Amino acid sequence: MLLNDAEGLTTFEEWQKFFAKLPPLDAAAAWLEGARLSFGQNVSFHFAAIDRQFEIAFLAVAATPGQRSAALEFSTKQIDVLHAQFAHKPDAIIKYDAAIANSRAYHERWGTPTLRAYMFESGQVDEWGASPSKGKDK
């Protein structure tokens, strides 16, 4: 089970570190698995999973154009689930929509081929766009 190490995680930062350690397919699978379990009740869980898809889509030097497109499509589905899951908390949705928009803007800004290569070559991200400062072992 991909979520064995996830027990007790609650904050966005904790979830972000968790997802950063996973390769792309495992990150998507962990979100699918967790969304069906109690983890799916945590907005930070969803947001960190969406943020990871943005990393893959915009910052990963190893991603093909098809993988980038798939990561963006998957993040859209995750956002739809987040909206449905927390429709009863409109204030939370507004807050997290703003955070998602900021995250996407950041990733789009740094996601050009030249900047992506620079970030990878300078060690700011690994080949799949995860930052070592988020807990990814290099």
Confidence of residue 138 (pLDDT cuts 50, 70, 90): very low
Cα distances (Å, whole numbers) of residue 70 to 5, 24, 83:
26, 11, 20
Q: How far apart are CA 20 and CA 26, in angstroms?
A: 10
Cα distances (Å, whole numbers) of residue 55 to 34, 36, 89:
19, 23, 27
Q: How far apart are CA 10 and CA 120, in angstroms?
A: 29
3-34: pLDDT as tens digits: 988 989 999 999 999 999 998 999 999 999 99
Is the pLDDT at 137 greater than 50? The verdict is no
The pTM of this model reads: 0.87
Confidence of residue 135 (pLDDT cuts 50, 70, 90): low
Domain ranges for the chain, please list them.
10-133
